[in-house]
Amino acid sequence: MTSPEGQPAGPAPRRVAVVTLGCARNEVDSEELAGRLAGDGYELVADGEAADAVLVNTCGFIESAKKDSVDAILAATDSGAEVIAVGCMAERYGAELAGALPEATVLGFDDYGAIGDRLDDVLTGRPLVPHTPQDRRTLLPISPVQRSAATQAPDAPSIPGHDWLRRKRLASGPSAALKIASGCDRRCSFCAIPTFRGSFVSRPAGEVLGEAQWLASQGVTEIVLVSENSTSYGKDTGDLRSLEKLLPQLAAIDGVVRVRVAYLQPAELRPGLLEVIAATPGIAPYFDLSFQHSSPTLLRRMRRFGGTEDFLGIIERARALAPGAGFRTNVILGFPGETEDDVAELERFLTEGRLDAVGVFGYSDEDGTEALGLPGKLDQDEIDARVRRITDLVEELTAQRAEERIGSTAEVLLTEDLSVDDEPGTWAGHAAHQDPDADGTTTVSGVPGDALAGQVVRAEVVDTEGVDLVARALLPAPAATAVAETAGV
């Protein structure tokens, strides 16, 4: 085969498809891996049927997520392409997963820096030895000063998602996640994440700002800050106010109209940070708080802090600053030792808290966690019954909370033009209290014809459909009216 100039053509680029499971943090990791592969000469394709290799970025958080990851790996093998498993489940189980799924090659986080070489190995038939998992919390020092220095060392452990210069967007749309840190230093008794994600490591503010500017250059207008625990940002570098300082700088970036913070830890939500999130222009007054439960007794068994009154206090303080603030959380039902009184206490909190979105999960034993050995395990049937009970309550309460927003004004970020010939100016989007992926949507009518995805329009909420809002765009005030309002008339 020759090129149009008559010169022998080089080999066709190898094609790779990337499949991502799990959270927004994994999405960032996948885009970093995609960027590295593109830099190594791989062509990114959307469909495994057209690929030489399928990279499956797995989730290893809870039992159901692990099952989804295994199903995705097996489905990828149907394409006939080579299948490579990466991500949390691959890191967590290593050689064990490779033995259970010989159809796939299993790689760990420390392979990310040379991911192109590893795929070359797979495609040329060079054997790879799966890694033996280790507790990644032990790979970095405990001391913040020592940890910061250790992450810069040549032999530092790989920290997924921290090489944004190589990042390549796989998703379209005006919202994108930006990882501000990796790992977690907390020791919740039900959670294994720190053992395979490692110690908490903040990214330098300059690096975060640089990535945000790059995302804005790619057409992103809403940035969602993610990590395992965003309230810990800067703790490992000795500055607990790092996030408070960073947020206004992010909001000031040209092209960015909204910054949202996800994964806040209630026990670390300092008053100053709460105020910055609630009252800074350009920062969504949105609180994604990891409550997990509200019974103080049960939370202590979970190695967590607070309880109903503490959590209601946080919500009250935020609403005093931003009455329309959004709140979401996740809760676990059926944790070992959970009593009927504990469930009733959770019901009280959810009823009084008036949250906008709540994820409800049933407890499952996780390898390597303290809860695995706790007494008081509940039967699965009882766990399932409690999940259904709280899920039903949450659906009712969140729908009521949405109805409370009727008549209010929402700042809606437009994402998709739904207009048809006889109904122009209808868009899908999400308000400031709605995460772009998890918390419902807002449908806006009466949007001007020159609107574009990524713009924010002011709209009046006129109806609801469950947690979703229906709104009507508010046209800008005429100049004379605007001047009169400014003058206090």
Binding site membership for [4Fe-4S] cluster: which residues? 23, 59, 88, 184, 188, 191
Cα 1–Cα 79–Cα 66 angle in degrees, nearest 5:
140
Encoded amino acid at 183, one letter: G
Map tokens 């592969």 to a residue. 37
Question: Which pair of structure tokens corresponds to residue 60?
Answer: 């290893």
Q: In angstroms, rounded to a whole number, what is the distance separating the alpha carbons of residues 262 and 239?
A: 20
Which of 436, 333, 431, 432 minimizes the C-alpha distance to 382?
Answer: 333
Q: In angstroms, rounded to a whole number, what is the distance separating the alpha carbons of residues 155 and 301?
A: 37
Map tokens 């033996």 to a residue. 132
**CB burial readout 81-97, b (16+ within 10 A) else e:** bbbbbbbbbbbbbbeeb
Binding site residue list = 23, 59, 88, 184, 188, 191
Q: What are phi and psi of 259, to 5 degrees?
A: -120, 135
